[in-house]
Amino acid sequence: MTEQDKRLFPVVYSFEGHPSGDGSTFLIEGTCFDGSTVRFAIPVDNIQHFIAFLLVWVRTMSDAASKQADSSGSDGRIPIPATSIAIGQPDGNEAYIAVSVGRAELIFSLPASSLGSIAQSLLIAGTPANAIAS
**Residue 23: its pLDDT value, please?**
94
Task: Give the pLDDT of the chain (134 residues) as one tens digit per residue.
Answer: 888 888 788 899 999 999 999 999 999 999 998 899 999 999 998 988 888 888 878 777 776 665 554 555 666 677 788 888 898 877 788 999 999 888 788 888 899 888 888 888 888 887 777 666 66
The whole-angstrom separation of Cα 11 and Cα 13 is 7
**Residue 14: its pLDDT value, please?**
93
Q: In the chain, where are the structural domains located?
A: 80-127
Type of residue at 57? W
**Residue 36: its pLDDT value, please?**
92
